[in-house]
Structure formats: C-alpha cells, structure tokens
Amino acid sequence: MAIIRPFKALRPQAQFAKQVASPPYDVLTSKEAKIEAQGNPASFLHITKSEIGLSDKIDVHSAEVYERAKDNLAAFIKRDILFRENKDCYYIYRLIMNGKSQDGLVCVSSLEDYENNIIKKHEFTRPDKELDRINHIKITGAQTGNVFMAYRNVAAIDEMIERYINTKTAVYNFTADDNIQHTVWIVSDSDAIQKITDLFRTEVPFTYIADGHHRAASAAKVQKESGKNATEDAGYFLTTLFPASQLQIMDYNRVVKDLNGYTKEDFLLLLEPSFIITDTGAEAVHPKVLHEFGMYLDNNWYRLTARNGTFTDDPIGILDVTILQNNILDPLLGIVDQRTDKRIDFVGGIRGLSELEKRVNSGEMAIAFSLYPVSIEQLFNIADSGNVMPPKSTWFEPKLRDGLLTHLIGE
C-alpha cells in the first residue's frame, strides 16, 4: 500500500506566486528558459535552469551551473520570495485547462515504495538526464521537480479533497500566460492529514508515475549515494497524486527527416499490406479511434487504418506507438531505436497538427505521423505487467509548475 506523508514545503509568498511559478525544467531549452525568465528576477527558472544567468557558452552540466542554482535558491529565501512552512502539510493543487479541472494531492512519497515497485514505472530512464538532476538535488539540497503521479480512484479520497476545496480558501490562485489556471490549498489540520495518510495506506495499493521518471530515479540515487548520511527527508520525493478519472493524456506525434530512399509512390505502395489508406487531401487527420493514424507527406494528409495482423492483444503490442514502430518506422524507414536515431523527432499534442505541417513544409522533415493518445488504463496495464512503453508514448497536459512547492532534503 502507498506510503505518503506531509512535508514542510518551501514556497513563495502569495504576492510572488505567479512570478515564481515556472514551466518544468525539462520542457524548455536553455535558450527558451532565458527568454521565459527575461525581466522576471523571481522566476524559479533561475534555480531550475540556472545557466540562464551565465555565459551562453557554458556547459549546462558543469559544477558552476549547480552552484549558481544553490546560490540563487538561498537568495530567493533571503529576499523573502520563498519561505518554508512551519509544520508538515499536504497541499491540494488544482489545474484548469480549457474548462477542465483536475485536483492533485501534493505530498512526498516513499522511496522505499519506489524501490519495491509499489510505485509503478512505465519508462526507461537515461543516465545523462539522471545525472543532471542528481547533481542539482545534491548541491541545492532540494527536490525542485514535482513528479506527476496517478492512482485508481478511491471515492473516500475524492470526497475528502472535494470537501476541503469547497470549505477552505486557496493560498494561490492565478492564471499563467498559457491560460492554465493554478490553484493551491493547504491541508494543515492534523486530523485531515492523518485521515489522508491512512486512506492511501489502506485503499491505494499502487501509485503510477505518469510524468517525471528521471526526477524520481534521481531522488532514489541521491538517497543511496548519501548512505548513512541521508536525512529522513531524503527517503521521500516530491510528488503530486491525481485520481485516474481526471487525467488527460494527449497524443505524442512523430516527424521523420526522410523516406529512407523511397519515392512517395513506392512508400505508399509499401504501406498497403499493413494499412487501409485514405487520401484526405488538405484535411488534417487527428485520429479518433485506436489503430488509426494520420500521415502528412508532400503537402497531403492520409488516414491510415491498421489492418488485422499488425498488432497483438498484449499490453505493449496493442499500442499505436508499437504498431507504428513495427510496421513503418523500423521496416520501412530504418528507425530501429527511437531513443537514439537522429532522423526522428517528437511533437507533443499540445502543439497541434499545424506543427507537424510546419515541420514538413519547411523541408526540415519529410513525413509526419499523428497518433491516437494512449489511455490511462493502458498506461496502468503496462506498468502492472512490468513492461515499459516505447519512448515518447505519453504527453500529459496541463503540467505542474515548478517553484510553487519545493521539498528540502537537507538538515
């Protein structure tokens, strides 16, 4: 059963909340982060992407970058932009995008659960990305990146969170520049804290990492490396837990640089044994059902419907990302490993199909594929089976903002 606990969050004074809150560190390049934080000395990007205050030529993984992050964090506290809660609390974090809301519980989750697979994973992690966050956590003494988690709905938890929201005043409530509304409530009542803790321990057998595998893996390795010197706080990592029914997974689309030597006509012929092809002309294809794909090639859209025999019923084989890999990317386009092949790139569904057209029309890419989103139940099934998804299978929106709630692991 899931072990969670409240924590003393490092958080902004209410008047600075909107200025501090920043996109997750891993969705922006250094250049984008520098533009995002321009003119805003309170942006948390000065801590999570601290290279923006250094030379453009600096190695973003150098010790100087992490030391600057540590210094900036200390400066934010000294300037009273950030302060630490005086008691352990839970926090409720509501995100509203396009009129749809989702309410998550911000807490710290047990790294023992992570190691024992009570916390389920569905992605491999990359050592270079882990090392970056390991260094950031060790040097700053803070877990600044929130791990986005999910759990199967429990009515008693849903009801308690809804009741709390309806009877308490939020400490933060603002709409970010991308029109996503962020609202945070503090759960400081001891009885409520104990009840929430007990409900997760007795009613939630597993939690699932939706977004943030590298953040979680890095926190676990920091604890291991610290050994006997690890603090009690280092045995937990910063998480926000959402009930599955409220989550939305968006499509995660692909663009490829070339047709691997094929002409357009030959490529279409090669697709026919595996797909029913419908020419839709200028009408963009946003797949409406499982096993349907859009393909943009030479200023033209096509609908591809997978034929029987192109997929299996197992948790991995039934995924559209698997169908695409096994029937197009690998055998036709020569892309064996999507993680390492430089000829393929990934476009989150939040950017829309126009981004696919733009990448192809510019000549940068030759072909684009739009996919039907993975469902949350598919994600759960894969994690429960002990398998991992193909790379770049899920894109969650809206995303939690960095800086609103930080977990300190130092003394």
Q: What are phi and psi of 106, to 5 degrees?
A: -90, 125
Average pLDDT for residues 3-13, to the nearest whole number? 98
pLDDT of res. 95: 97
> In the prediction, which pLDDT does 129 show?
86
Question: Could you give the CA distance from residue 171 to residue 78 in angstroms, rounded to a whole number?
Answer: 21
Q: At what angle do helices 127-140 and 63-78 cross, to 10 degrees?
A: 40
Kindly report each contact of residues 304-312 with a partner whose C-beta sits within 8 Å and lies 24 or more positions away, as own/partner.
Answer: 304/271, 304/275, 304/276, 304/277, 304/278, 305/275, 305/276, 305/278, 306/274, 306/275, 307/273, 307/274, 307/275, 307/276, 309/274, 310/274, 310/275
Q: What is the tens place of the pLDDT at every residue in 300-317?
A: 999 999 999 999 988 888
Sign of CA dihedral 27, 33, 39, 44: positive
At 403 the pLDDT is 97
pLDDT of residue 287: 96
Q: Give pLDDT tens digits for 85-94.
A: 999 999 999 9
Token code pair at residue 167:
């009877």
DSSP symbol at 50:
G
Q: Compute the average pLDDT of residues 270-289.
A: 97
Q: Which residues contact 346 (CB under 8 A, 6 or more apart)?
A: 252, 253, 254, 255, 391, 392
Angstrom distance (rounded) from CA 238 to CA 107: 6
Nearest-angstrom CA–CA distance, 142 and 136: 8
How much is the pLDDT for 230? 79
Mean pLDDT of 284-307: 97
CA–CA separation, 145 vs 350, rounded Å?
21
User: Structure tokens of 125?
Assistant: 């992690």
CA proximity to 25, closest of 17, 34, 13, 14: 34
Crossing angle for the helix pair 155-167 and 190-203, to the nearest 10 degrees: 160
- Contact present, 36 and 46 (Cβ < 8 Å): no
Q: Does the pLDDT of residue 161 top 90, yes or no?
A: yes
Measured between alpha carbons, how far is 298 from 268 in angstroms, rounded to an integer? Answer: 12
Q: How confident is the model at residue 387 (pLDDT cuts 50, 70, 90)?
A: confident
Which DSSP string corresponds to 178-203?
TS-EEEEEEE--HHHHHHHHHHHHHH
Report domain extents, the chain. 4-249+397-408, 252-372
Exposed/middle/buried for residue 245 (C-beta within 10 Å: 0-12, 13-18, 19+):
exposed
DSSP-assigned states of every residue in 280-336: EETS-----STTEEEEEETTEEEEEEEPTTS--SSTTTTSHHHHHIIIIITTTT---
Q: Give the per-residue pLDDT at 124.
A: 81
Average pLDDT, the chain: 94
DSSP designation for 250: E
Could you tell me which CATH number the domain at 252-372 has?
Answer: 3.30.1760
For 346, the enclosing helix (H) or strand (E) is: strand 344-348
What confidence tens digit (pLDDT) does each residue in 18-69 have?
Answer: 999 999 998 888 999 999 999 999 999 999 999 999 998 899 999 999 999 9
The two structure tokens encoding residue 274: 């595996």
d(CA 163, CA 175): 23
Among the residue ranges 213-222, 232-241, 375-384, the one predicted with the least confidence is 375-384
Find the range with the poorest average confidence among 77-81, 184-188, 208-212, 355-359.
208-212
> Could you read off the pLDDT of 140-149 as tens digits, one per residue?
999 999 999 9
Q: Assess whether pLDDT exceeds 70 at residue 122.
A: yes
Q: What is the pLDDT averaged over residues 348-373?
A: 94
For 392-404, the pLDDT digits (tens) are: 888 888 999 999 9
State the pLDDT confidence band at 411, using cuts at 50, 70 and 90.
low
